[in-house]
Amino acid sequence: MTYNGSLSVADSLDNKVIPPAINTSPLIFLTKGGVLELLQIISQEIIVPAAVATEIQTYGEMDVTAIALVQKNWLVVVETPPVPTVIQSWDLGAGESAVLTWGYVHPGTEVILDDLAARHCAAALGIPVRGTLGLVLNAKQQGIIPTARPILEKLRLSGMYLSDRVMNQALALIGE
């Protein structure tokens, strides 16, 4: 299935589910942490805006995330429409702006972002948002992973910033 960012109202009425879009940092953390497949809990396909793919490609063709973009056919790279002024006004990076644009032009479609300012923008625009931490917690709640702590530790080792306080609070929410 190819997405060109221009689904019609009829497409929406046919109840076609639009896959969520992911930003650079969650994609990198999940890949380096060895848990990229957790994304398939929320959708069989994940949209990677071209701006995000470009950011990842700057790490070189041997980068584990760049390799995943080529090898995983469920990571679908798409061009997104021009960034609306309402998103431009937040002065975010190209990747965050493209991900938010995907959610904005496809109302109700989730975006996967860790950047705090981008998450605030999503909330202000009514775009459903989930972060890397939320993805792992959801996997634990669904019984897909037995425990979340080891995965969160791997993600921290892969570069994801997560304070002990936030991690412990999150783990307490799921009974760990």
Question: CB burial class (10 A; 0-12, 13-18, 19+) of residue 8?
Answer: exposed
Query: Listing from the earlier edge strand, what are the strands of the sheet with 75-78?
Result: 75-78, 46-49, 21-22, 111-112, 129-130
* Cα 78 to Cα 50, 52, 54, 102, 135, distances in angstroms: 5, 10, 11, 10, 22
End-to-end CA distance of the chain: 39
pLDDT of residue 160: 94
Q: What is the pLDDT along the chain (176 residues), one digit of tens a residue?
A: 334 444 433 444 345 678 999 999 999 999 999 999 999 999 999 999 999 999 999 999 899 999 999 999 999 999 989 999 999 999 999 999 999 999 999 999 999 999 999 999 999 999 999 999 999 999 999 999 999 999 999 999 999 999 999 999 999 999 99
pLDDT of residue 17: 77
Complete DSSP assignment for 67-97: HHHHH-TTEEEE--PPPPHHHHTT---HHHH
Q: Where do the domains of the chain lie?
A: 9-131
pLDDT of residue 15: 52
9-131: CATH topology is Rossmann fold (3.40.50)
pTM: 0.88
pLDDT of residue 16: 65
